[in-house]
Amino acid sequence: SPVPEDAPVGTVVALLNVEDADSGENGQVSCELSGEAPLSIVASSGGSYKVVTSGALDREQASEHRVTVVARDRGSPALWSRAALVLEVSDVNDN
């Protein structure tokens, strides 16, 4: 669902759950965001992550933000997976 452009920094816009059935380091996963957007990813507990706003949103400049979430394990070689995330920004009366 769209996030209003006046949402404060730190607003949670997505919750992610990442699982790897491997054991040891092969089962330890980290996530990162790639792409240009005022968003960041924060590790939570038990393989959960929060995508939060890290800056101001301005619908007049961008009505949506597209980023890629990359999950990577600590195996050798590291295996990874990615998923697209689209954040729609809703308009708030600026007057």
Range of the domain at 75: 3-19+26-90
Angle at 12 (CA atoms; ends 28, 49), nearest 5 degrees: 5
Q: What is the tens place of the pLDDT at every residue in 3-44? A: 999 999 999 999 999 888 887 777 788 899 999 999 999 998
Model pLDDT for residues 43-87, shown as the tens digit of each residue:
988 789 999 999 999 999 999 999 999 999 888 888 899 999 999
Q: Residue 77: its pLDDT value, please? A: 86
CATH number of domain containing 41:
2.60.40.60
Q: Is residue 44 part of a domain?
A: yes
Structural domain count, the chain: 1
pTM for this structure?
Answer: 0.86
Predicted local distance difference test score (pLDDT) of residue 14 = 94
Distance CA 31, CA 48 (A): 10
Question: How many residues can be counted in the chain?
Answer: 95
CA dist., res. 40 & res. 51, Å (int): 6
* The pLDDT of residue 94: 67
The more confident residue out of 18 and 94 is 18
What pLDDT is attached to residue 21?
A: 80
End-to-end CA distance of the chain: 24
Residue 95 domain flag: no
- Say what the pLDDT of residue 6 is: 94
pLDDT at 95: 60
